[in-house]
Structure 1
Amino acid sequence: MRKRSIIGAALAVTALGGAAAWGGVFANAAENDPRAETGRAVSEAAATGTLKLPTGDVVRLSPGGGIDVEPAAGREDVGFVGQTALDGSDDVVVVPTDMLDAIRSGDEDPRRYNVSRLLAAGHTDAANVAEAELDTRDYAGFVPAAQQAKASEAAQELTVSVSDRSGGVPDESLVVWMKEGTDESDVIAIGKDGTGTAELEPGDYLIMTVTINDANETERGETVYGYTPVTVGEEPAELTVDAAAAAPVSVEVEREDAELEEHLLYIEAATETSSHGTFEFMGADSDAYLLPQPGESDFEFNFIYQPVLTGPADAAEPYAYTLAFGEAGSLPADPAYTVADADLAVEQTEYQDLGVELQGRQCDYPRVWEDQFFLFAQCVDRAFPSQATNLYNAAPIQWDRTVEAGLFDADKELTEGFTSFSGETALPAGPAERVIGDGPLSAGVPWLGRTGDTIWGRVSPVESHAGETVTLVGYETSTATLSRDSEELGTTEDLADFAFELPEGDQGRYTLTAEATRGTDTSPFAVQSSLEWQFDSATAEDAALDLPVVTLESEAVQGGWADRGEPQEITLGLASMENSAESMGLEVSYDDGRTWTEAELEGDTATLEHPDDAAYVSLRLTATDTVGTEVTHTTIRSYGLR
């Protein structure tokens, strides 16, 4: 088993923390501007982070509501149970299953597993947080407790009994009661005998249950998901959840040698203001089952099943099915799926390096219905360079797809290399091609805004805009400086998240410069970058700053290399939210920027003839847009020649 995570969620339907600041500002990005494609991820960047648990396992809150768990070395078979706080804070708490007993007995502190709260406080290692800095709220089990009203004299005891499909007591259980017509809910603790109790006011309830048996040497694992209705009246009530009534959740594909690699199942009961759900990442040695949908209910049910199947490891042509099946508004009566290749997007993908062979991964997040709160990643390892066939569900399902290649730290975070993201992509059925990692490399699209007298944002020193945007990660040095009329207003070494405070009412002609250098461990290209924008700005309540960049495309550059002996066409464009280019220019250097030659443009295209002894091509790009913003971007070793 690779990893297992279970998240039981009681979520308020609200935007994530950074959405108001970023999403609204960049909502009107033009279609030709990469900001239009990646706005969702950037708008929710404030909700992301990585926390190391006291056990050494890592929990990652990803852009767009994603949750991912990376077990520590030697703990790959440990399960992970999670839940959001029941006090309305929506804090995400994730606990390894081998720590549940210690938390229940008081030997382990659940506050060190509150991922949201610790990340919000700036912590990255839960074990090292001082006692005085931990959460001060009361906890019920391993989550902040709900503030329930004191039970009235009319309240009655509900006893819930759970079992596995063979009638035995499951290894682990998650049980939550939800009162119909309200947002009231709470956990029911299940004992080692498979029963638990709760004092509930008379009324109709929905009981969410997840029962789990881990796989072992002789038996496959099983997880049974579902909702069961119960009414609490004037007498104590009992409910027995019949796991044997659950239907298997499965998939059958066309290629006979495909084998299940891993799968994920998510169910959700939602109202207009809250959502109660659970999910689990399962290995190929565990089976999933789903109880029938309850009859009449105030809750709306949602369902997602995400299996990944792969061909033989030694196949001449590697392939992977990355699939998603879902229903919004109901649970499927028969969750056994069959799919033909002709109904899928069959994508031939080329994973190119940028001059150095690398290892990496591809993570795909399907959007099964509109406004889906959580996105669940299914990841596969990839070598760069390599090729593979990827099969996806076609539209209307949309995909957020991330590729990372390079050097990773102990927590498997990318520290140097490159990444590519394509968001909310609906793929047509049929054959397709995808190439990742081309070039040439030049300045990345910045994200800047102004709120009052603060200019804030981020700068990406190096990207490729040929096809899918590729962003380089990991810089040895970096600085950004903001000035007005030659007066320096602020400087920072953090290009990813900065804010410059200006004098009250400040306005005029500003210059933003950014400088960055890179090593050559993951690519010999883009070793030095220089970016400059001159633009007009005045105090604004909340406005985007439309700082354009000159983009480059050249079919002659593949994987960062072009043929030295062939004339090369290179096409310039302007990535801008609203404006177009009044003028553009291109200069070329073959000696790492010591000397420059202006290239002649015919329209937006130049034809370059390279010297016989040239090894790298450095580019300086200039442009002025229709509102007078001036840009100059210099990339030393934009691509190589061979």
Structure 2
Amino acid sequence: MRNRTIVGAALAVTALGGASVAGVLTAGAAENESRYEPVQTATEAASEGALMLPTGDVVRLSPGGRIDVEPAAGREDVGFVGQTAKDGSGDVVVVPADMLDAVRSGAEDPRRYNVSRLLAAGHSDAAAVTEAELDDRAYTGLVPAPEPAEASDAAQQLTVRLLDRSGDAPEGAVVSWIREGETGGIEIGEDGTGTTALEPGEYLISTLTVNATTATERGEAVYGFTPVTVGKGPAELVVDAAAAAPVGVEVERDDAELEKHLLYVEAGTESDSVATFEFMDAGTDAYVLPQPEASGYAFNFLYQPVLAGPADAADPYTYTLAFGGAGPIPADPFYEVADADLAVEQTEYQDLGVELQGRQCDYPRAWKGQFFLFGQCAERAFPSEATNLYSAAPILWDQTVEAGVFDENSDLTDGYTSLAPDVAMPAGPAERVIGDGPLAAGSPHVVRNGDTISGLTWPVASHSGDIVRLVGYESGGVTVSRDGEVLGTAKNPENFSIDLPEGDQGRYTLTVEATRGTETALYGIESIMEWSFDSATAEEAVLDLPVVLVESEAVQHGLAERDEPQTISLALDSMETTVESMGLEVSYDDGETWTEAELEGDTAVLEHPAGAEFVSLRLTATDSAGTEVTHTTIRSYGLC
């Protein structure tokens, strides 16, 4: 947790597309304590990022268990089916529905769809991976299988037969079994049946059956859990989708239409759980079987629909909703909701001097320990305005906004991003502004582990409204020195590691420099951040490196009025310390000359010279631990 302080006071600061995945879940999603924490630290798992599947579709795994799938152009109506591995690795495998038959027949290799494994190995294009680099584990169906247990003489054959809502075999299916301490998969053939050998006992069978949307027929996805007893002889189970109840929503605004929706159901024992989920388009109907009477299992349920008004509406709006949580699968999972029961947010997406395209992804957290967070993403223009209606608390939201230039894997390479984690929104009106400025240094996450200093910094960020961080630096560098002697350097300010002499201690200076172009923002073209602090060998100690936050309501879209006096407020963002002193200098010639601004407490009033185009800021501070800060941002904002 970081503290935000001003002089004399203290204030605490606290898919595109679709996928369906089934598997064993064994861990909870990470919690974010502070919105000033970094999006991702340098030590987080390598199996995060974006992978292009052989079909050209892109799957993104993000920190905190977030999953997004973005279909390739022309494949927007293709579904995505997947599983998590049964061997304890938790690998996420995602296969487009139109490739299921090819995987089942052996014509397509499921190893090229193991997103977690390929990302961990440093790959971004599954089709380009050589045979020698692919996973060497045995696969059952779509996923790596657990080590097979030797069946006893008492094991019996279980046959599972699946029927869609018309009484026919479904086009696709994902089937798993679970009992305390064990789980496994069942391969389903084209006739809708599959068999496996199981020891006698009580089991729960998890099923997801899928029929794809066509030009003449709606698709269907049917989820459920069915108990079965394996005794002294062969057993057979028929799962009939006709018994499932429809899942849907009705909202207050008559012209709202469903754009996409997601359904997630989970059943778990004390040691394992099995879950299925699918991102579905508006042409697919969702259904869920009644919750079974099965002792020893806990059930979770989550439905996420997205509805929107007409594309040409004068006041565009979107419903991004979430229903359910930890607890039983509802008997009647069709919801009616009034606007008065929702958070109605007026959202302003600002630019920083350059018109951009981007996206907004919202991830609801419906219960504590929810393993995956599922992003419902929408395209956004910068600048633009929209009304966003959200499910109110106790649902929590992780909200991510990205604007700028994206690569072939839909990763943001140049632009800016905003992350607001664990947002609890009360019902009623709200306002949100993204991307205004002024720009200055962002809060770092730097760790000393023994004699190594590592972490990430954000050279340029905005703390007015939602926190916005710029990405896409053309050049940069990190230097650690002590008593004027350079001890180590690194090239990447956003992910660095520098080794110090063994047992080293004393007063260090960490200097971070970065420059960027003006393709996505006219401001924040150069940043120099410097911290002088005391440190000694420690085990995994987070360094408290404060930054001076800058806010000004006069700056909108990165611009302030040249002819009007401008009020600027400063505050120190720190984990534990408080501010002892702060200073502000201003430049109107990109840092060639500087003028000290007079501070009244934490506030300065600037009067800009005629003809000035940009305002650069140099911020200084000393905290209660003696750490000294100097942060320089060239073109913090513009004047008009």
Unaligned runs of 5+ in 1: none
Helix, strand or coil at the partner of 1:302: strand
Matched, 1:415 2:404: no
The aligned residue for residue 564 of structure 1 is 562
Farther-moved stretch of structure 1 (557-566 vs 495-504): 495-504
Structure 2: which amino acid aligns with 1:111? R
Helix, strand or coil at the partner of 1:526: coil
Q: How does 1:182-193 map to 2 (within 5 A)?
A: 182-193=180-191
TM-score (norm 1): 0.95
CA distance, structure 2, for counterparts of residue 464 and residue 202 of structure 1:
61
Helix, strand or coil at the partner of 1:34: coil
Cα RMSD for the two superposed structures: 1.7
Helix, strand or coil at the partner of 1:421: strand
Matched, 1:51 2:65: no
Can you list the C-alpha shifts for 1:269-302, whole angstroms capped at 9, x where unaligned? 1223322101001111110000000003211110
Can you list the C-alpha shifts for 1:582-632, whole angstroms capped at 9, x where unaligned? 111100000111000000111111110000110100000011111111111
CA distance, structure 2, for counterparts of residue 257 and residue 397 of structure 1:
25
Residue 495 of structure 1: how far off its partner (Å): 1.5
CA distance, structure 1, for counterparts of residue 21 and residue 269 of structure 2:
19
Can you list the C-alpha shifts for 1:124-179, whole angstroms capped at 9, x where unaligned? 22222232222221111221111231111111111111011110111111111112
Helix, strand or coil at the partner of 1:316: coil
Structure 1: which amino acid aligns with 2:172? E
The aligned residue for residue 444 of structure 1 is 442
The aligned residue for residue 388 of structure 1 is 386
Helix, strand or coil at the partner of 1:12: coil
Structure 1: which amino acid aligns with 2:575? M
Matched, 1:603 2:601: yes
CA distance, structure 2, for counterparts of residue 127 and residue 259 of structure 1:
37
The aligned residue for residue 589 of structure 2 is 591
Q: Assess if the C-alpha contact under 8 Å between 2:176 and 2:184 holds in 1.
A: yes
Q: Assess if the C-alpha contact under 8 Å between 2:16 and 2:70 holds in 1.
A: no
Structure 1: which amino acid aligns with 2:21? I
Q: 2:401 aligns with which of 392, 400, 403?
A: 403
The aligned residue for residue 253 of structure 1 is 251
CA distance, structure 1, for counterparts of residue 580 and residue 456 of structure 2:
25
Helix, strand or coil at the partner of 1:578: coil
Residue 47 of structure 1: how far off its partner (Å): 4.6
Can you list the C-alpha shifts for 1:286-325, whole angstroms capped at 9, x where unaligned? 1000000000321111000000000011111000000000
Q: How does 1:461-472 map to 2 (within 5 A)?
A: 461-472=459-470
Helix, strand or coil at the partner of 1:102: helix
Residue 64 of structure 1: how far off its partner (Å): 0.8
The aligned residue for residue 522 of structure 2 is 524
Helix, strand or coil at the partner of 2:494: coil
The aligned residue for residue 5 of structure 1 is 19
Helix, strand or coil at the partner of 1:249: strand
Matched, 1:171 2:185: no
Q: Assess if the C-alpha contact under 8 Å between 2:528 and 2:632 holds in 1.
A: yes
CA distance, structure 1, for counterparts of residue 56 and residue 361 of structure 2:
23
Q: Assess if the C-alpha contact under 8 Å between 1:13 and 1:274 holds in 2.
A: no
Can you list the C-alpha shifts for 1:320-356, whole angstroms capped at 9, x where unaligned? 0000001312111110001111010001111111111
Structure 1: which amino acid aligns with 2:367? W
TM-score (norm 2): 0.95
Gap change, CA 1:2 and 1:545, over 3 Å in 2: closer
CA distance, structure 1, for counterparts of residue 364 and residue 218 of structure 2:
27
The aligned residue for residue 325 of structure 1 is 323
Unaligned runs of 5+ in 2: 1-14
Q: Which runs of 4+ in 1 moved over 4 A?
A: 38-47
CA distance, structure 1, for counterparts of residue 118 and residue 219 of structure 2:
33
Gap change, CA 1:417 and 1:45, over 3 Å in 2: farther
Q: Assess if the C-alpha contact under 8 Å between 1:70 and 1:411 holds in 2.
A: no
Matched, 1:612 2:610: yes
The aligned residue for residue 131 of structure 1 is 131
Matched, 1:628 2:630: no
Q: Assess if the C-alpha contact under 8 Å between 2:617 and 2:633 holds in 1.
A: yes
Q: How does 1:453-464 map to 2 (within 5 A)?
A: 453-464=451-462
Matched, 1:244 2:246: no
CA distance, structure 1, for counterparts of residue 129 and residue 369 of structure 2:
35
Percent identity, aligned pairs only?
68
Can you list the C-alpha shifts for 1:485-511, whole angstroms capped at 9, x where unaligned? 222122111112111111111111111
The aligned residue for residue 423 of structure 2 is 425
Helix, strand or coil at the partner of 1:132: helix
Q: Assess if the C-alpha contact under 8 Å between 2:440 and 2:550 holds in 1.
A: yes
Q: Assess if the C-alpha contact under 8 Å between 1:44 and 1:64 holds in 2.
A: no
Helix, strand or coil at the partner of 2:488: strand
Can you list the C-alpha shifts for 1:388-438, whole angstroms capped at 9, x where unaligned? 111011111100001111112222221111111111010011011111111
Matched, 1:576 2:574: yes
The aligned residue for residue 114 of structure 2 is 114
The aligned residue for residue 227 of structure 1 is 225
CA distance, structure 2, for counterparts of residue 209 and residue 460 of structure 1:
45
Structure 1: which amino acid aligns with 2:355? E
CA distance, structure 2, for counterparts of residue 596 and residue 153 of structure 1:
85
The aligned residue for residue 90 of structure 1 is 90
CA distance, structure 2, for counterparts of residue 487 and residue 299 of structure 1:
62
Q: Assess if the C-alpha contact under 8 Å between 1:42 and 1:63 holds in 2.
A: no
Residue 67 of structure 1: how far off its partner (Å): 1.4
Q: How does 1:273-312 map to 2 (within 5 A)?
A: 273-312=271-310
